[in-house]
Amino acid sequence: MKKSEQRDLFPGALEMMILRTLKRQPLHGYALVQHIKRTSNDLLQIEEGSLYPALQRLLKEELVKAEWAVSSTNRRVRIYRLTAAGAKHLEHEVSRFEKMLEGITRVLARGES
């Protein structure tokens, strides 16, 4: 059940959302996932854990960087920050996604008429 929900997010979608969120402000993992959930009005139903492999992938490709800090609630957290390469990658991905979405929308619209 969960698996099929996850499969609904296409590969790279989660990464894109993470990058977009981090572009607005640096966040730690928990805040990041809450923000995504809240902003999407819980429509996406992301499993919180799935965030971490995605974050590791981004770290490895050096699209984000992370450092330990102490949060306002006095908790040791790992804050993620967008790098220049990450910003560039996000731009590229978003434009690709928009093209894809436009294509799909057109095909769907044609089907209705």
Contact positions toward other proteins, by CB under 8 A? 2, 29-30, 47-50, 52-53, 55-57, 60, 66, 68, 73, 75-78
Nearer to other proteins, 38 or 110 (CB): 38
Nearer to other proteins, 4 or 73 (CB): 73
Burial grade of 50 (CB within 10 A; 0-12, 13-18, 19 or more) = middle
Q: Which of 9, 16, 34 is nearest to 87 (CA)?
A: 16
Closest separation in Å from C-beta 77 to other proteins: 6
Closest separation in Å from C-beta 33 to other proteins: 8
- What lies within 8 Å, CB to CB, of 56 at 6+ separation is none
Nearer to other proteins, 45 or 105 (CB): 45
Written as six digits, the tokens of 40 are: 């999407």
Nearer to other proteins, 42 or 102 (CB): 42
**Which conformational region is residue 109 in: left (phi greater than 0), alpha (psi within -120 to 50 degrees), or beta?**
alpha
Closest separation in Å from C-beta 68 to other proteins: 8
